Structure 1
Amino acid sequence: MITVKKPVQKIISDISKNLGIDEKFVKEKLKDLIVPVERNLYVESNKCIRCELCYEMCPVDAIKEPSVKSPAEILPEKCVKCEICAKTCPVGAINVLEGRAKLEEDNVVYELKEIDVTHRKIRLVKHELDEESCIKCGICERFCPTSAITVEKRNSIDINLNLCMGCTACEKVCPKSAIKVENEMGEITAENEISLNNDTCINCMVCSEICPVGAIVYEDGLMKLDDKMCIFCGKCEKNCPVTAIAIKQKNM
């Protein structure tokens, strides 16, 4: 847990100056300030192995494709915080931070903590190396997270499949496409459950319009929810005008 304090008067002065609002009005509005818990995701660039799994699995195209020179990058304006990328990353390079702000005496207190996520399993099925195409450059060795690849530059390459996790990083960074990897991805553990109350629902279709994966549709006079398609981003719950949708943590 990281806690940061900032003087209220400094915040009031900044808001008043930037927006041209009287300080007394700003102070009144901040009196009962409590910012709801929000989650944000970020990539630890030094950990990213360029496997592209987060990029491939993101349901809303919110991740910039990585390259040998650049790690994956989350695009905040597109991200819906479903955490699929964090749960898919085979090396834990994507972190989830939970934060909130509250007013305590003369300070605004910001609290940040890192959230543990359950990672899906990845298993190697098949690994192929085209010896004739391979130039023994060593890039695959550089990004292999389990040290399964050993390269003597321009001379030899050795791959220990007992160490290989099937992350596909070597395939993605190979400049000659000399490596092909087939893996098996496990299911993402659903930690939440979602429900739609049709007795409360007014069929305004806001949920259907805002759902990024089309998990809610209007059929036969009712809104219907496909909980297997749902990525639990929470957009429908937050925007439903009659609170007919609820996302709750499962009883594990």
Structure 2
Amino acid sequence: MDVTFKKKKEMMEGEVALKSRDLDESPEGFKGEIEDCTLEDKFITISPECVRCNLCVEECPVDAIEDSKLSKPARILDNCVKCEICAQTCPVSCIHVIESTSHVGADEVTYKLKDQKVPHRKLRMVKISVDPDKCDSCANCVKFCPTGAISVPEGDIAQIDKEACVGCGACANVCPEGSIELVRELGPVIKTKNLFVDQDTCVQCQVCEENCPVDAIKLDDENVVLDQEKCILCEVCSTKCPVGALKLEMM
């Protein structure tokens, strides 16, 4: 998905002026002026196609995803560190990593959104079964199964086509009686980035150590030591380093 849309610069300046007045932070007659600039960012979002499996919730290393419910999909929270593990894990590719570029020119503001390609981890069903004593034939599992592997014949319990099942776990998650038992295999996170440390540039400020969400980086004898097993290749240390000694680059 690549999307580009534009907005008149004077409209944005007017919105800035209105917002400032709402906050009582500007004198009467204030006119917002926006200088020409280009800003790049990245954000992660979950589309309505979410099948409620909650695999992303289980795999998020910083608890930055709100559980999905029958009535609503999972939701990315403000403490997301953009490690992209959720996007790699989603069995139906409904979690999108969006690269955004905003350019303010002389007369207009241009926004560009690009859906970043993310590899997917291996996922397969090992074993799945339905407890006939618990299943109440509500068919919630049928509604959310992404491959149509489940049916509920009238007057019978849920039936699962094991050849079609991918092991996402949506059925087990939405079953109100807990009647579905699943064993699945989930492969390792696929490395798509490298974190480079410039020891000569580092000023030993410890900002990286203090802000790492998984305690993967330490300052030891004036050197930055990175625990490769713990590191989730998020954007926290590289964006917070005041001297650019840490750089996160795509492979």
Amino acid across the alignment from 1:69: S
Matched, 1:64 2:50: no
Number of the residue aligned with 1:130:
131
2:243 is matched with 242
Report if aligned partners of 1:137, 1:154 keep a CA contact under 8 Å in 2.
no
**Matched residue, 1:74:** 76
Q: Which amino acid aligns with 1:33?
A: C
Q: Which amino acid aligns with 2:36?
A: D
> Could you tell me how far apart the structure 1 residues matched to 2:54 and 2:245 are?
37
Unaligned 5+ runs, structure 2: 21-25
2:94 match: 93
* 1:17 Cα offset (Å): 4.3
The amino acid across from 1:32 in the alignment is D
Change (3 A) 1:158 1:16: closer
Aligned position for 1:7:
8
For residues 81-120 of structure 1, what are the structure 2 equivalents within 5 Å? 81-120=82-121
The Cα shift of 1:111 comes to: 1.1
Shift of 1:113: 1.8
Measured in 2, the distance between the counterparts of 1:141 and 1:82 equals 32
Report the equivalent of 2:142. Answer: 141
Instruction: Figure out how many residues of one structure are paired with residues of the other and give that number.
Output: 243
SS at match of 2:219: strand
Residue number among 33, 54, 57 corresponding to 2:37 in the alignment:
33
Structure 1 spans left out of the alignment, 5+ residues: none
Find the aligned partners of 1:163 and 1:16 in 2 and give their Cα distance.
56
Q: Deviations for 1:42-93, whole angstroms, at most 9, x for unmatched residues? A: 1112x11111101111111111111222221111x21112111111110111
Check 1:220–1:167 CA distance in 2 against 1; reply closer, same or farther (3 A cut).
same
Q: Does 1:212 align with 2:216?
A: no
Of 53, 56, 81, 1:51 maps to 53
Query: Aligned AA for 2:75?
Result: E
SS in 2 for 1:152: coil
Q: TM-score, normalised by structure 2?
A: 0.90
- Cα deviation for residue 220 of structure 1 reads 4.1
Q: Percent identity?
A: 38
Distance (whole Å) between structure 2 residues aligned to residue 86 and residue 147 of structure 1: 22
In 1, Cα distance between equivalents of 2:159 and 2:127:
16
Assess, with a 3 A threshold, how the Cα gap between structure 1 residues 12 and 156 changes in structure 2: closer, same or farther: closer
- Native 8 Å contact 1:43 1:74 kept in 2: yes
For 1:159 and 1:173, locate their aligned partners in 2 and report how far apart those are by CA, in whole Å: 15
Kindly provide the CA deviation profile for residues 115-167 of structure 1, in whole angstroms up to 9, marking residues without a partner as x: 22111110111112212222222111111111111111432432111111011
Q: Distance in 1 between matches of 2:112 and 2:248?
A: 24
Query: Residue 23 of structure 2 aligns with which residue?
Result: none
Cα separation, partners in 2 of 1:188 and 1:154, compared to 1, 3 Å: same
CA distance change for structure 1 residues 206 and 166 in 2, over 3 Å: closer, same or farther? same
Quick check: 2:144–2:171 contact (8 Å CA) kept in 1?
yes
- Equivalent residue of 2:244, what SS? coil
